[in-house]
Structure 1
Amino acid sequence: MATIQSKYLGELRTTAQHLASGNNVITDAPLDNNGRGEAFSPSDLVCAALGSCMMTIMGIVASRNNIAIEGMEIETTKIMAAEPRRIAEVVLTFKMPANDYTAKEKAMLENAARTCPVALSLHPEIKQTVSFIY
């Protein structure tokens, strides 16, 4: 059974519907690639998916180990390569909520982020630069 139903809307826009929930996402080509830049680009969604996956897996580890991470944030920067046009690097800076994390907790959380399914699924040529601010 399908997970997502997508449609091309014209003018470099698409819509994707998550079939189980009915939630929708619209994409638009970026300004530097003939689009209007009025929504996430497909490559923006790849970067957002990476950050969301990292936080989700960290959340699983945190829950299992009674570590409070609610309020954690990520600033994500996408760096594109020109030839061929592709994501060259994703820079993710985690801002961790105030907590007295032990070295072991930090190691567990950081390992969870770096080994999430999306991180492991991206092509190895896409550089993933990940940092944590505690």
Structure 2
Amino acid sequence: MIRCRTLETPLQVEFSSGEHTGVCDATPDKGGQGQGFRPHELLEAALGSCTSMIITMYAKNHGIALTGVGVSVTLDRSEPGITAFDCAITLSGDLTDEERQRLLRAARACPVRKTLSAKLIFREKGEVG
């Protein structure tokens, strides 16, 4: 569970898992200070991080000589009613073309990608204490 609470600086929000903490903020043109991640950047980070992790785990489990993964994610909401995540993956290591293809296929198994691809519903729980 992530808990969020507003901070004194307008539009800044602290989020915490109980173990780790971060700050979310709006850009100055939206009334924030730009001193933290924007909410949509957190979605991009979740997808990119999970993709990197799943590729790394797959490589380790299959003895593939992967030395690094880079993932860039951009959220595109320019078309009404459509949300697109544009992902670019860079793989490092002495990899064959077949291994690269296997790793890119493994990326599709990312649990965050599966979550974002599923039908979403939002349940309002009222005030939390």
Q: Under a length normalisation based on structure 2, what TM-score does the superposition of the two structures give?
A: 0.75
Q: Which residue of 2 aligns with 1:42?
A: 39
1:7 pairs with one of 5, 8, 11: 5
Q: Secondary structure at the match of 2:45?
A: helix
1:95 Cα offset (Å): 1.5
Q: Secondary structure at the match of 1:15?
A: strand
Q: Which residue of 1 aligns with 2:73?
A: 76
In the aligned structure 1, how far is the partner of 2:79 from the partner of 2:17? Answer: 31
1:124 Cα offset (Å): 6.4
Q: Which residue of 1 aligns with 2:95?
A: 100
Number of aligned positions between the proteins: 118
| Structure 1 gap ranges (5+) | 126-134
Bigger RCO of structures 1 and 2 (CA < 8 A, at least 6 apart): 1
Segment drifting more, 116-125 vs 6-15: 116-125
Q: Which residue of 1 aligns with 2:16?
A: 17
Q: Under a length normalisation based on structure 1, what TM-score does the superposition of the two structures give?
A: 0.73
1:16 maps to amino acid: F
Point out the structure with max Rg over C-alpha. 2
Higher strand share: 1
In the TM superposition, 1:31-70 aligns within 5 A as 31-70=28-67
1:91 pairs with one of 77, 86, 89: 86
CA contact (8 A) 2:68 2:93 kept: no
Cα-Cα RMSD: 2.5
